[in-house]
Amino acid sequence: MPVVTLAEIDATARKAARGHGCPWGLAEEAGKSARWLASHGLPGAEALADMLRERAQCCTVSGSPCALRLCAAMADRVGMSGEEPVGGDMAGHPLLVLAQMGRTADALDRSFALEWEEGSATVSRHAVSIGGTFAASSMVCSPTADTGGECIPLPGSRPVEERAWVALRDLSHRTLVPASAASRTGAGAGTSDND
Amino acid sequence: MDGAFCRVGGSHPSAVMAGWREDGETLWNRTLQPFGRSGIAVGTSPGDAVGVGPDTRRTAALLHDTGFHAVIASMEPRTDTSATVPLRDPDTVMRLARMGSSHQTRLSFMRALLRSLKRENWRFDRPVWSVDAQGVGHAVYRAIGPRHTYSLVAFAHDLPDDMRSDRVIATAWDATFALFDGTPTEADIARLSANVPRQEAGRISDRELSLSRANRSVRLWSHVVERLAAGEQPDAERIEAVGYLMRTTAVYGSGKFGAADRAVLAGRGVMGAPFHAEMLAVWLIRSFSLDLVEHMARVGGGKSAARIAPPLRRRLGIGNSTGLGMAPFLVNHPALLNAWITARETAIARVRGLPHAPAKARTIFARRLARARENAAGWRSDHPVQIPRIDALRADLARLAAHVEAGALDHAGPWDALVRWSETALSPEGQEQLASLVLEPHGALVDDLVATMAIDESESFPIDGTLPVAALRTLIERHYAWAIAIDHAPAERCARFWYVSEEKLEPRLGRRHDEPGVEREEPLDISRAVCALRDALAGEADDTLLADFLLRRPEHRHVVRRVQIAAQRPYSEIRDNLIDADMLPIDMLRCKLAFFGASRFDPRSDRWVRICLYRDAPFPDELADAPEDDWA
């Protein structure tokens, strides 16, 4: 399995989502979520690759809203003053929801409880605790006073599943422009660079 | 609260601290006796008042970052200016032409790094030197700090002249480097020797903090080797003209090609600050370039070979060639850009608020002004944009010297008056040089701001979707008037597009109307994207929640994030059209390189610049005895 850094997971996931057709803002969320999951020892690159593999193209082009888009919308609403839970069909990708809310908890120093049929999780600033299994297709998120406390993030490199990594790399390649003589010349010094 | 207090912490028997009176006016320094182990110091009169003032975070930063003994001890009573002189207007500061006139300051990373290494009594050695008569081999340079050791592992190669290129797309170099976390074993060096010379085509690990390479200066290298081999000194004028023996052509860090992620460095003291690991590598590479040239001279000249005389040696920095790759960084890290600029602008405002210029400050200012004039006199460029700028700077500095000589610092509020005078009397180059120079005598007042230049960018990432659309419209009108004013319809207003090439992932700039690849454009067209968002919002009801808008229109999500970041962070956006036909990418490069601490900017095209780093800086073996931060 390839061993990669968190920065590489972030960048490759972001470009893969973009290469798949996601708008830049959602591609950024994809990168950060894959990184967040990996930093907590969870399969972030794999979760994103799974989701992208299921869809021929981005949901902004056709199909129902994807998990990335839905959980971004969920996170966008956490500033609402009430304690009302929010949730919905996360299209079978609960890890991406967990990551989105985990990142939100980190940034805003808040805690959220996530509940689904086979399990539950609590995310708070730089901590997450998970019970049960991830097999759910719908999730409910509510603010909580609980602060989790397990599974703190670790910054080191980590192995990722080869198939997922290759898939993300292939998709990310779609953001690159083939080289041409003109582009090569235009990027360099106007004069000699060997003096 | 008359009895201001501050928790000083630590086990120091006494602490010399900066303090603000409760009215925020006066900055004092006093030696305090902490009470017991908890280290709470209490004062009961303005003369004793320390610590908690209107800005407690600043106090904490001073204590945390500087090891308060050394810095605060030299402080004189001052006015805390944060409330009296506003920071400069982002509409002035964040223009490309202004950013392209940036100069290094006390807060620049190279200077901050060397200050920290000196204060923390870092030691340096070269435990390995294994280079043969062809100049091929490897060496290890160690920087040994109080808690961590870092080692530059350097590989020297025999590169045919026709393979030498500074471009990212090059595949071989005169020397390649990795900054290792700790002291490398032979096995580590063997692993690195199989990968570091290949640069992007190899793979390093999170035991390494950076990956870099350098090429020799054709103009200087052979000359220096030959002269030293003959037992003579190299020609001083040629050293002045070039300024370095080698130039680095890329310094990768932050998790690229397998190197340690920035998060690894977060708790590492001095190395946790932005680009400090990269700047440490470059400083040690400078030493390697001198050692290698003297080694080659010994190969040719044997025992009669000379070593470079110390004054000439100091004049040699390390060169750097930088292309477009650096430009997108400033756009892609808006909150970080804001932190850097805010630190610099806060420093300038603090100094501008001082009531007087004491003799000591005047002396330091005069000395640094003379040095700036000397630097401007020796600054060479053949680029048509830069030549008149350098000419203007030389004239500006002569005018400034005369103005100061005529008593400009004799009046109340002298620094503020000087900066105001420069706004009409000097060119942007001169204004920015002055803004840097006024900080020079005031390290005790401003150096703490370095601690604010490292931030957690993830905190600015979430979008507040509970905002009604009308409120977002207001934010755009308030913070993006500069963007709204641009008409992007004419071809020349959207003539460029930023993209990443398949070739070594090099960021490039294309011509929108006659080059392929525009469908793969990178999102650096900020002003145009803001205008598109504004148009889209025009069709929405005022009370529509932003979250609902974004669920329907996710193509605007990245710009909405920027708008929300900019609303809290006035220096987060470059306030110019980055796809304009007349845009000069070198302006972006220069801003970032000035924060690194670079000098002698020498554009080689509108998107390619050469610089010099660490010119006149002490070498590792000189740092302990050199005066603190008195070289730039």
Question: How far apart (Å, rounded) are the C-alpha atoms in residues B318 and B217?
Answer: 10
User: Is there a contact between B550 and A186 if contact means CB atoms under 8 Å apart?
Assistant: no
Q: For residue A133, give how far its alpha carbon lies from the nearest alpha carbon of chain B (Å).
A: 27
B161 interfaces chain A, CB cutoff of 8 Å: yes
Check A179 against B261: CB less than 8 A apart: no
The per-residue pLDDT for B58 is 37
Q: Which residues contact A75 (CB under 8 A, 6 or more apart)?
A: A100, A101, A103, A104, B462, B463, B465
Rounded to whole angstroms, the Cα distance separating B25 from B80 reads 6
Distance (Å) of CA B196 to CA A141, B149, B182, B192: 47, 20, 17, 5
* Interface contact B205, partner A, CB < 8 A: yes
User: Please, are residues B484 and B575 in contact by the beta-carbon 8 Å criterion?
Assistant: no
- Across the interface, whether the CB atoms of A189 and B458 are under 8 A apart is answered no
Contact of A107 with chain B, judged by CB distance below 8 Å, is answered with: yes
| Residues B531-577 pLDDT 10s | 999 999 999 999 999 999 999 999 999 999 999 999 999 999 999 99
Pairing of strands A119-124, A127-132: antiparallel
Confidence category of residue B46, pLDDT binned at 50, 70, 90: very low
Q: Find the helix or strand (DSSP H, E) in which B478 lies.
A: helix B469-479
Spatial CB neighbours of B225, under 8 Å, sequence gap ≥ 6: B293, B296, B297, B300
**B134 C-beta neighbours (distance < 10 Å), count:** 11
Model pLDDT for residues B101-123, shown as the tens digit of each residue? 999 999 999 999 999 999 999 99
Q: Which one of B162, B174, B204, B206 makes the best mutation probe of the A interface by having the most chain A beta carbons within 10 Å?
A: B206
Residue B94 has pLDDT above 60, yes or no: yes
Question: Which tokens hold the place of B288?
Answer: 């390697």
Structure pTM? 0.89
Give me the pLDDT at residue B35, please.
Answer: 28
How does DSSP classify residue A64? S
Which pLDDT does position A83 carry in this prediction? 55
Higher model confidence: residue B2 or residue B295? B295
pLDDT number for residue B14: 34
Exposure string over B94-118, b if 16+ CB within 10 A, otherwise e = bbbebbbbbbbbbbbbbbbbbbbbb
Under an 8 A CB cutoff, do B515 and A32 touch?
no
- pLDDT for A192 equals 66
Pairing mode, strands A86-89 and A158-159:
unpaired
Instruction: Convert the pLDDT of each residue in B185-242 to its tens digit.
Output: 999 999 999 999 999 999 999 999 999 999 999 999 999 999 999 999 999 999 999 9
Q: pLDDT at residue B22 above 50?
A: no
Rounded Cα–Cα distance for residues B392 and B397 (Å)? 9
For an interface test with B, the pick among A106, A123, A183 (most B C-beta atoms closer than 10 Å) comes out as A183
Measure CB to CB from residue B561 to each of A22, A25, A187 and give the nearest one.
Answer: A25
> B residues 556-585 near A, CB within 8 Å?
556-561
Q: How far apart are CA B268 and CA B262, in angstroms?
A: 10
pLDDT attached to residue B470: 97
Q: Are B318 and B285 in contact (CB under 8 A)?
A: yes
Tell me which residue in B458, B501, B554 faces A176 most closely, judged by beta carbons: B501
Chain B residues within 8 A of A107 when measuring between CB atoms:
458-462
Please, which residues have CB within 8 angstroms of residue B611's CB and are 6 or more apart in sequence? B319, B320, B322, B593, B598, B599, B600, B601, B602
User: Which residues, in sequence order, are CB contacts of B5 under 8 Å at separation 6+?
Assistant: B40, B41, B42, B43, B50, B51, B52
- B258 within 8 A of B208, measured Cβ to Cβ: yes
- Which of A77, A106, A157 lies at the smallest CB-CB distance from B547? A77
Please, what's the b/e burial string for B537-571 (b: 16 or more CB within 10 A of its CB; e: otherwise)? beebeeebbbbbbbbebbbbbbbbbbbbbbbebbb
B216 CB contacts (<8 Å, ≥6 apart)? Answer: B164, B174, B245, B246
- Comparing C-alpha atoms, which of B30, B34, B29, B31 is closest to residue B13? B34
- Determine the straight-line distance between the first and last CA of chain A, rounded to whole angstroms: 43
Predicted confidence (pLDDT) per residue in A52-102, tens digit:
998 888 888 888 888 899 889 989 988 765 555 666 666 578 899 999 999
pLDDT surpassing 90 at residue B37? no
Per-residue model confidence (pLDDT) at position A142: 83
CB pairs under 8 A between A and B: 193
pLDDT tens digit sequence for B496-544:
999 999 988 889 999 999 999 999 999 999 999 999 999 999 999 999 9
The single-letter code of the amino acid at A120 is S
Task: Decide: A100 and A33 in contact? Cβ < 8 Å.
Answer: yes
pLDDT grade for A165, boundaries at 50, 70 and 90: very high
Tell me how many helices (H) and strands (E) chain B has. Answer: 24, 16
User: Residue B608: what pLDDT?
Assistant: 87
Do B458 and A103 lie within an 8 Å CB cutoff?
yes
Contacts of A125 in chain B (CB under 8 A): none
The predicted-structure confidence for B352-401, as pLDDT tens digits, reads as follows 999 999 999 999 999 999 999 999 998 888 888 889 999 999 999 999 99
Neighboring chain A residues of B161 at a CB cutoff of 8 Å: 194
In percent, how much of chain B has pLDDT > 90?
79
Query: What's residue A86's pLDDT?
Result: 65
A91 part of contact set with chain B, CB < 8 Å: no
Give the C-alpha separation, B317 to A97, whole Å: 50
Of B263 and B71, which is predicted with more confidence?
B263
Q: What is the pLDDT of residue A89?
A: 61
Q: Give residue-wise pLDDT tens across range A15-51.
A: 999 999 999 999 999 999 999 999 999 999 999 999 9
Q: Is B584 left (phi over 0), alpha (psi -120 to 50) or beta?
A: beta
Contact A25 B607 (CB under 8 A): no
Instruction: Answer yes or no: do A156 and B254 touch at CB < 8 A.
Output: no
Q: Residue B428: its pLDDT value, please?
A: 96
- Number of CB atoms found within 10 A of residue B274's CB: 22
**Distance separating alpha carbons of residues B227 and B236, to the nearest angstrom:** 11
In sequence order, which residues have a C-beta less than 8 Å from that of residue B367 and are 6 or more positions away?
A: none
Cβ contact, residue pair A191, B266, below 8 Å: no
Rounded CA separation B291/B224 (Å): 12
| Of B279, B431, B423, B437, residue with least CA distance to B347 | B437
Mean pLDDT score across all residues of chain B: 87
Task: Tell me the CA distances in angstroms from B605 to A186, B375, B380, B384, B589, one per residue in order.
Answer: 9, 22, 14, 9, 12
d(CA B336, CA A116): 37
CB contact under 8 A, A6 and B263: yes
Compute CA B311 distance to the chain's CA centroid, rounded to the nearest angstrom: 26
What is the pLDDT at residue B105?
A: 98
**What pLDDT score does A146 carry?**
78
Q: How far apart are alpha carbons B458 and A106 in whole angstroms?
A: 8
Spatial distance between the Cα atoms of B407 and B357, rounded to a whole number of angstroms: 11
pLDDT confidence of residue B434: 98
Placement of tokens 């980055």 in the chain: B578
Looking at this predicted complex, what is its ipTM? 0.94
Contact A193 B167 (CB under 8 A): yes
* The predicted structure's pLDDT at residue B529: 98
- Measured in angstroms, the CA of A131 and the nearest CA of chain B are apart by 26
Using a CB-CB cut-off of 8 Å, the residues of chain A touching B167 are: 187-189, 193
pLDDT of residue B56: 34
Q: Say if CB B629 and CB B617 are below 8 A apart.
A: no
C-alpha distances (whole Å) from A167 to each of A12, A164, A170, B8, B585 are: 10, 5, 5, 53, 34
Interface list for B 57-116 with A (CB within 8 A) = none
User: Please, what sign has the CA dihedral across residues B153, B159, B165, B170?
Assistant: negative
pLDDT of residue B162: 86
Which range is least confidently modeled, A181-185, B207-211, B349-353?
A: A181-185
Distance from CA of B630 to the nearest CA of A (A): 31
B-chain residues near A104 (CB < 8 A)? 462
Which of A5, A103, A106 minimises the CB distance to B258?
A5
Contact A1, A159 (CB under 8 A): yes
**Would an 8 Å CB–CB cutoff place B513 in contact with chain A?**
no
Q: Is there a contact between A25 and B515 if contact means CB atoms under 8 Å apart?
A: no
pLDDT digit string (tens) for B402-436?
999 999 999 999 999 999 999 999 999 999 999 99
Q: Which residue has the tokens 């690991």?
A: B277
For residue B252, the 8-state DSSP code is E
Using 50, 70 and 90 to split pLDDT, how confident is the model at A187? low
Chain A partners within 8 Å of B500 (Cβ): 175-177
Dist. CA B541–CA B559, nearest whole Å:
19
- How many C-beta neighbours within 10 Å does residue B394 have? 16
Are the Cβ atoms of B551 and A73 closer than 8 angstroms? yes
B510 shares contact with chain A (CB less than 8 Å) = yes
Q: Are strands B78-79 and B123-131 parallel, antiparallel or unpaired?
A: unpaired
pLDDT of A150 reads 63
Domain ranges of chain A: 3-176
Q: State the pLDDT at residue A149.
A: 66
DSSP string across B364-407:
HHHHHHHHHHHHHHH-----TTHHHHHHHHHHHHHHHHHHHHTT
| Residues of chain B numbered 353-412 and touching chain A (CB < 8 Å) | 382
Alpha helices in A21-142, H assignment, sequence order: 24-39, 44-54, 67-76, 94-108
Q: How far is B29 from chain A (nearest CA, A)?
A: 36
Distance from CA of A150 to the nearest CA of B (A): 19
How far does Cα B392 stand from its chain's mean position? 24
Residue A189's pLDDT is what? Answer: 57
Q: Given a cut of 90, is residue B457 above it in pLDDT?
A: yes
